[in-house]
Amino acid sequence: MKNTNTPFAKPFTPKQIQRRIQHLPACLFLCLITSFLLSNCAEEEPQRKELHILTINDMHASIDQFPKLAFLIDSLRNHYPDLLVCSAGDNQTGNPVNDRDSISGMPMITLMNAVGFDLSVVGNHEFDQGTKAFAQRIKAARFPFICANMFPPDSLNLDVQPYCSLTTKEGLRIRILGLLQLNSRGKPSTNPDSVSRITFRSPYALAREYRSLKDSCDIYLALTHLGYEEDQQLADTMKDAPFDVIMGGHSHTLVKEPKIIRSSLITQAGSDLHYASLIHLIWEKDKPLSRTAEVLSIDQVSGTDPKIQERIDKMNRNPFLNEILAQNKDTFPSEEQLGYFMADAKKFATGADIAVQCFGGVRLTHFNSETFKRKDIYSLDPFDNPLVLFELSPEELTNFLEEAYQRNWQHPTFTSGISIHYDKQKDPEKPVITYQVTNKKVRKKKRYTVVLSKYVADTYRFTHQDSGKVLPVKSTEAIVEYLKSKKLIPSYKNVRRFTTTP
């Protein structure tokens, strides 16, 4: 492994030993062999061996939590000197201090190196800033990235291995397989342009192909970025060669009481560095492997690492990101109100009849500040997608809204220019969708201009005769323009642009 701080070391092979001693004097050679044989006779293999793992997932560049995380890791390593620290993916995207660094995402790698991460699986948001930036981060990391179901061409310089092999000081042989989620189009959920040159295959198929790894180790682990339900499906897929533990991410699920499901212990620890999972594995000869896990609250860690805190403070002193763009008349209590605000900004900046902001693109759960700073906008919308303008008929718009409802986990779409009604009486999972254009009647023959993010335009499957026009404005630029124009943002607290039946 790249990380020189790792508590694991591979033993020398017989050939390596032979090469190292072939030039030694004969008497010294005999002393070495005698010492080796005596030590082997005197020391029996331990009957009980332990492995302790701290797993964290979906950190999303939550750099302000690293002083507490560093303190936690140091404290745990006082109890478990051989502690293995793993990330289950999505280290990136969520804090502009990290995302908009001169080498995008490098602050997170610097911090992960500093606190002693040993391993990371590739998450879908590792690709958000493009493969060139990802390759630079991989090179700078003092820990490896793993993923078995991605196949990049050599020209991209993405040094990602399918799995990791480790041997503990006690002699435990560990194999860790990495797996990444794919959407309905067979790609990870990121900007499609960022992964256009990479081949991906089903994580379940690849897990089956690597099942022989289980025969070559004492403990077989999966480090995944699939989602909690998908991890259960993975456990189902691997019944004949089960993972001892599946350490998961992607769905942001907080598994408070990890359980063994279909022969595998499955863990996941929420998101944004609020929690971590501490896994305890005890191997005893001729006994089943003991597997337990507990959830630790990083928020409640009482101490901080002062050196890491000093680094974070320096990163946060950024005049450009701290620029105040507008005042707020009120707070934003939820994603819904923030979504309407984002849609209004897109409509304002493009002059479209209708603007759409899908639930998954709103990356803050609430906003209570009296001002909007530039860094707040980049946190709310870290993806900064180009905007695409379509001309859609009423039927095409309905089809899009149906697709958006399903793609956003059956969550209503945030809009500007229309209000939507979801009738769930016949089928709650596939409601009948109708809408009203603001202050206008829907006209069957009219084609409405609708602005979407390029990610939505490229990945959602909906009927449209118009191929769309990519505009020379990105989503965050639209929001900044809206803020600077308004200067005082009105209250969205009581705004609601959809209704449901029942």
Structure tokens that stand for 409 in this block: 């986990």
Query: Please, which residues have CB within 8 angstroms of residue 19's CB and are 6 or more apart in sequence?
Result: none
pLDDT tens-digit map of 213-261: 999 999 999 999 999 999 999 999 999 999 999 999 999 999 999 989 8
Burial per residue of 338-370, b for 16 or more beta-carbon CB atoms within 10 angstroms, e otherwise: bbbbbbbbbbbbbebbbbbbbbbbbbeeebeee
Q: How far apart are CA 122 and CA 146, in angstroms?
A: 6
Residue of 133, 139, 89, 140 lying closest to 111 (CA atoms): 140
User: 485: domain range?
Assistant: 319-501
Contact 260, 244 (CB under 8 A): no
How many alpha carbons lie under 13 Å from residue 227 in its C-beta half-sphere?
12
Residue 373 confidence (pLDDT): 97
Q: How far apart are CA 49 and CA 42, in angstroms?
A: 18
Residue 101 confidence (pLDDT): 94
Query: Please, which residues have CB within 8 angstroms of residue 33's CB and are 6 or more apart in sequence?
Result: none
Assess whether 328 and 361 both reside in one domain. yes
Structure tokens that stand for 51 in this block: 């492995």
What is the per-residue DSSP string for 427-457? -TTS-EEEEEETTS---TT--EEEEEEHHHH
Q: How far apart are CA 99 and CA 193, in angstroms?
A: 18
Q: How far apart are CA 92 and CA 274, in angstroms?
A: 16
Last residue of a domain, one of 288, 314, 340: 314
Assess whether 284 and 135 both reside in one domain. yes
Q: Is residue 3 part of a domain?
A: no
Instruction: Give the E-state strand segments of 306-413 in sequence order.
Output: 324-328, 354-357, 371-373, 386-392
Residue holding tokens 């829907």? 442
Assess whether 480 and 339 both reside in one domain. yes
Q: How far apart are CA 319 and CA 339, in angstroms?
A: 27
Q: Is residue 33 part of a domain?
A: yes
- 33 in the Ramachandran plot: left (φ > 0), alpha (ψ -120 to 50) or beta? alpha
Assess whether 350 and 405 both reside in one domain. yes
Last residue of a domain, one of 314, 349, 377: 314
In angstroms, the Cα distances linking 136 to 107, 113, 155, 237, 377 are 12, 14, 13, 35, 26
Amino acid at 366: H
Q: How far apart are CA 222 and CA 177, in angstroms?
A: 5
Q: What is the CATH number of the domain that holds 367?
A: 3.90.780.10
Q: How far apart are CA 210 and CA 163, in angstroms?
A: 9
Assess whether 271 and 375 both reside in one domain. no
In angstroms, the Cα distances linking 473 to 240, 303, 323, 380, 477 are 52, 44, 20, 17, 6
Residue 44 confidence (pLDDT): 64
Assess whether 261 and 370 both reside in one domain. no
The single-letter DSSP state of residue 332 is B
State the helix-helix crossing angle for 66-79 and 306-316, rounded to 10 degrees.
160
Assess whether 285 and 346 both reside in one domain. no
Q: Is residue 337 part of a domain?
A: yes
Q: Is residue 7 part of a domain?
A: no
Number of structural domains found in the chain: 3
Assess whether 98 and 224 both reside in one domain. yes
Assess whether 244 and 283 both reside in one domain. yes
Contact 355, 439 (CB under 8 A): no
Q: Is residue 445 part of a domain?
A: yes
Q: What is the CATH number of the domain that holds 297?
A: 3.60.21.10
Residue 205 confidence (pLDDT): 98
Residue holding tokens 């507008």? 326
Q: Dihedrals φ, ψ of 461, to 5°?
A: -105, 105
Residue holding tokens 């700078």? 140
Q: How far apart are CA 229 and CA 296, in angstroms?
A: 22
Assess whether 300 and 333 both reside in one domain. no
Last residue of a domain, one of 314, 332, 348: 314
Q: Is residue 323 part of a domain?
A: yes
Q: Which residues of the chain have pLDDT under 70?
A: 1-45
Assess whether 308 and 403 both reside in one domain. no
Q: Is residue 151 part of a domain?
A: yes
CA R_g for the chain: 26
Q: How far apart are CA 477 and CA 377, in angstroms?
A: 9
Model pTM? 0.86
Assess whether 389 and 414 both reside in one domain. yes
Q: Is residue 346 part of a domain?
A: yes
**Torsion sign over Cα 412, 494, 337, 356:** positive
Q: How far apart are CA 247 and CA 87, in angstroms?
A: 9
3-state secondary structure (DSSP) of residue 309: helix
